[in-house]
Chains A and B, each alone.
Chain A
Amino acid sequence: MEETNALVGAIQKFSVEDGPGIRTTVFLKGCPLACRWCHNPELIDPAQQLIQMPNSCIHCGACIWVCPKEAVYADTEGRIQIHWDRCDRCLQCTESCYAEALQPVAQRMTVSRVMEEVVQDKGFYEHTGGGMTISGGELLMHPDFVRGLLAAAGEEGIGVCLDTSGQGDSGLLAEAAAMEHVTDILYDIKAVDSGLHEALTGVGSQLIQANLKRLCETEAVRRKIMVRMPLIHGLNDSSQAIGEVIDIMKARGLTRATLLPYHDLGVGKKTRIGGVQEMFSPPPAERMDAIVQAMEEAGIEISVLGQRR
């Protein structure tokens, strides 16, 4: 039988912002949400895709000749462009591109192949309380693969952090969250109100909230949870939206949150996979301060990514 495999966007060693200590983050491809600001837009589509890295291009033109669909061309300034509507993702161009300016977004990998890399940094995990983080995309879209990773990590004695949107298989989530070697859960809350959530991400918040509620029913699991909240000015940083997050955190007994002010890295990446992403802005400084203050007053321990408090 073929070993379980999945499309892996990246295995990022020395991740220090996705859970405690030094970690290796495994990014899985495919997500049920389509957040308007997504910073990993290339990991939304569950299928393989082509991504451009124009800065690496040496303008040799090999990709143009090799493309059977004539989807690759040079514009009037000599830059390589893609007719995305013609591209059928055969990826022959990526094989011809020695400069790696055209690449597949992900690699199909087995659990053991992923674990080979994860295990390499075991020493660092042991010295810093780190481990593996499973992220994405959305890990809940890959039940077999995630179960495989969790089992393998358990055997290796490697702690796991789950980085999830909460949108997906409730049983899988509960099962994974309860495992002893799953030490941390980064649980995204983009908005509580379902209408707002749908406007921002394409799906309502019912399942996410229901899953969160279920997890929080177990004390041991609840203590693993760190809420993560991206903050996009004008979309989800209003007093009301923040107030709702505070209320739900109180109701669930959650006390820790990481705020992720918007950054625009997704915009460029989206262009490079043949799409367009709107540009947003992070909350202005005074708004940011007010949000932090409101949450801290509610007894929530706050960290802001990139600027620890």
Chain B
Amino acid sequence: MLNERLTRMREKYFNSRPCITAERLVLATEAYKKYAGDPAPIFRGEVTRYVLSRMTTLIMEDELIVGTPTNKYRGANLFPEYQSSDWYISDIDEFPVRDTDPYDIAPEDRAQILETLNSYWRGRAIEDLAADMLPEEVETARQLDIISVGLRNGASGETMPNHEKFLKVGLRGFMEECRENIRTAGGGSIEKQRQINFWKACIIVCEGLINYAHRMADEAERQAAACDDPVRRGELLTIAGNCRVVPENPPRNFHQALQMIWFIQNTFHIEVCTTACGFGRFDQYMGPFYAKDLAEGRITREKALELLECFYLKCCEVYEVRDKWYAKSFAGYPMWEILMVGGQTPQGEDATNDLSYLCLDAAAEMQTTQPVLAVRVWDGTPEPLIRKGVEMIQAGMANPGFFNDKAAIPMTLGKGCTIEEARNWAIVGCIQPGPGGGATDGSPDAGYVNAPKVLDITLHNGVDPATGRQVGLKTGKAEDFHSIEELTEAVKKQLIYFYGLIKTGYDMMQPIHAINYPVIFAGMATKGCVESGRSVQEGGAKYSTAGMFITGAANLADSLVAIEECVFRDHDVSMTDLVAALDKNFQGEERLRQLLINKPPKFGNDNKHVDKVYEDMLAYIADTVQQWPDARGGHYSFSNLSQTVNVSHGEACGATPDGRLAGEAFCDNASPTMGRDIKGPTATVKSVASMHQERFHDGALFNLRFDPQGVAGEKGKDIIEGVIRTYFDNGGEHIQINVVDDETLKKAQKTPEKYKGLMVRVAGYMAYFTELDKAAQDSIIYRTAHLKEA
């Protein structure tokens, strides 16, 4: 049961909307003008310090954990360094009314934003540079939605800060280390001077953050002095005291440690348009503070729960403003603030502690989309921890997700780390395991390939049928393929060609980020950067990877098998006629479409042949792209995930040989195509588990939906747990389960105001169902709900 404070705070959250504010933009722009000419890292450090030293110190009613990225509640910042002012300006009146992820903008903010962008920022964003810089074939493929290119209008943002170190040494420790490094380096070479500049920049940002924290303390004291309620006055004074200790110094108790973590998270969102900044193994680095406070009688379980819940609500108050395409593709304001519990220690012992359970309790009470809870499961995980997670799932909370050490550890080892680091793995992004302890910069997504569209292009000898443009390789005319093997070879060549275009684009973007707008604080927070004196964009992190993703993997496999059976084996239709039918979106060819849907087996039904076709195709992609280095000396990782890009990529793709009509959404992530897994969830689970996920260094994302009636009661818990465990036994890395029926979802679609709190798992994240646009909602409704009356 939520206490009164949290009930009020949660209510306030649900009855408000996010907004875009001008403050950071205006301050940062002043700083960019003031410090222009400084070397990039210092320049960037100064900008962040300037903002941190002047921004509003906002402490709101009831808060126990403080710090906001903007001057308003639920405010979002604009980052015209990375994202083009062109769409900021053209969309400014659309933000409040757009279908997905709307943001309010107050009139005074609107005026300031337009004035600042128009007077200074036009043409300066990395996104603006990208348009001129990226080769034509990359831009064309991107514009046609065959690929996406990360870093074009995003920034480094899939990070997992080294919280252990922050908690241990405080910002003072970082500053001292940087000063020592500067002294030792001494200068005298370009490389050394670059390092020195980076270290100086780190010190500058730390000073800015300390300044911010001290001003927060001042504000808390000011509010305390004016407060009539002695209880609240005491709380405000505690807040003030906390802000004087952290982040400057290591925290002395659980409350201060939470405040420390929040300051770090908050600063990410002031420095850069952060996409996915996870908390890593929260119960591991926070557990000792909780245990010590408990043991020494400074805290009760109840009080700790309240603090944790205040912290969770803060996690809901950060945003990344995305353009229309990304807002649709990442619908529901996801921030991927993954908070992990359970698993094993670097030495291979069980790591579960009291805080692991408390974290789940807080999530069960709050039921907000952030943070996203992740339970790591291994042989030694206590049954009650899994059971607790299962009970939350059964209750329809869509939280937590479950992760399998047996799959994730080999994936992590694939990134080149030690076994201890692999056992300490944590999520970087949404489901991508990285060496733990804040050692990994996953960087943002390198890009997604629209796999079914690549098949369509292959069937047209490299021509995009929608525009008639030659966008792919000339691998031969459709009618000249004489076997499925020949066609498969051609598709593989085309896929790798398009992954290659992503690499070209991403490798061109990466150095621009490193040279023009390196991230300082996010770099400092990542293990390896302070040691090497390089930002994450320069490859400073101990481990750097960049994710290559796929949309429509099941549609591709199903289509290949359909061609194999209906064209090459049984001659139900000639290749020419099939392609003609696809080109006219099966108009007048419904019989053929039905044959393609019903006759050949489909992925998701525990059919060895289709599953193997699927597995081989993905293994080929993974094994190829994972050999490629990226521009900062890291390497590419493959992940079988699509987020909701399956919707936007589906819209851009014509009809496919699996019987899918033009424009329809593709399969959801690693799941089978909606409605094509007809043998129930056990068959689905087996198919998805069979793809040898351990070969994908960045994992595979699996969504499953159950009808609540079918998994009710005690037996229902056994069933859900049995499904999770069998999936893991068979090699699955990650599974997340929605327990919600069609009827509820349809009602929520019609009367959203009555279903504000209805949470669903969309991709690697949770969202409020009613905040998704109709296409994304439909794709969840069409996600096969297992266990309905036959």
Contact = CB atoms under 8 A, between A and B. Distances in A.
Nearest to A130: B722
A98 B570 CA distance: 14
A87 to B, nearest CB: 22
Interface in B692-723: 709-713, 715, 718-719, 721-723
A234 interface: no
Interface in A3-37: 12-14, 16, 20-22
Contact of B789 (A58, A120, A265): A265
Nearest to B679: A13
A73 interface: no
Interface stretch (B192-200, B239-247, B550-558, B724-732): B724-732
A276 interface: no
A121 interface: yes
A62 B712 CA distance: 44
Interface string B767-790: 000000000000000000011011
Contact of B712 (A13, A21, A22, A308): A308
Given A14-B787, A306-B709, A98 B591 contact: yes
A14 B711 CA distance: 11
Given A21-B718, A123-B729, A265-B789, A100 B682 contact: no
Contact of A58 (B594, B679, B786): B594
A55 B730 CA distance: 36
A274 to B, nearest CB: 20
A128 interface: yes
B370 to A, nearest CB: 32
Contact of B682 (A58, A62, A121, A265): A121
B744 interface: no
B786 A127 contact: no
Contacts of B719: 16, 21-22, 128
A22 B718 CA distance: 9
A280 interface: no
B606 interface: yes
B447 interface: no
Contacts of B686: 120-121
B680 interface: yes
Given A58-B591, A62-B591, A124-B723, A12 B790 contact: yes
Contacts of A60: 590-591
A13 B726 contact: no
A90 B115 CA distance: 78
A2 B132 CA distance: 72
A71 interface: no
B169 to A, nearest CB: 45
Interface string A199-216: 000000000000000000
B662 interface: no
A308 B790 contact: no
Contacts of A265: 789-790
A21 B711 CA distance: 11
Contacts of B713: 308
B710 A22 contact: no
Interface string B589-631: 0111011001100000010000000000000000000000000
Contacts of A124: 682, 722-723, 726
B748 interface: no
Nearest to B572: A98
Contacts of B715: 16, 20, 308
B599 A98 contact: yes
A120 B683 contact: yes
B628 to A, nearest CB: 36
Interface string B281-308: 0000000000000000000000000000
Nearest to B606: A120
Contacts of B679: 13
A195 B683 CA distance: 45
Contacts of A129: 718
Nearest to B789: A265
A98 B595 contact: yes
B681 interface: yes
Interface in B41-70: none
Interface in A79-132: 98-100, 120-121, 123-124, 127-130
Nearest to B712: A308
Contacts of B592: 98
A14 B786 CA distance: 9
B777 to A, nearest CB: 23
Interface string B632-665: 0000000000000000000000000000000000
B594 A21 contact: no
B721 A127 contact: yes
B198 to A, nearest CB: 51
B661 to A, nearest CB: 14
B682 A127 contact: no
B602 to A, nearest CB: 13
Contacts of B680: 12-14
A120 B681 CA distance: 12
B722 A127 contact: yes
Contacts of A12: 680, 790
A265 B590 CA distance: 29
Nearest to A59: B590
A99 B722 contact: no
Given A16-B715, A98-B594, A22 B790 contact: no
Contacts of A128: 718-719, 721-722
Nearest to B590: A58
B725 A127 contact: yes
B728 to A, nearest CB: 10
Contacts of A16: 710-711, 715, 719, 787
Contacts of A21: 718-719, 722
Nearest to A10: B790
A22 B594 CA distance: 32
Nearest to A17: B710
B685 to A, nearest CB: 8
A14 B722 contact: no
Contacts of B725: 127
A20 B721 CA distance: 14
A99 B594 contact: yes
Nearest to B592: A98
A121 B713 CA distance: 22
B719 to A, nearest CB: 6
Contacts of A20: 715
Contacts of B711: 16
Given A13-B683, A21-B722, A100 B598 contact: yes
Given A58-B594, A127-B721, 10 more contacts: A14-B680, A14-B682, A14-B786, A16-B710, A16-B719, A98-B592, A98-B598, A99-B591, A123-B726, A124-B722
5 contacts: A13-B679, A16-B719, A22-B682, A22-B722, A265-B790
7 smallest CB-CB distances across A and B, nearest first, come from A14-B680, A128-B722, A127-B722, A98-B594, A98-B595, A123-B726, A99-B594
Interface of A: 12-14, 16, 20-22, 58, 60, 62, 98-100, 120-121, 123-124, 127-130, 265, 306, 308
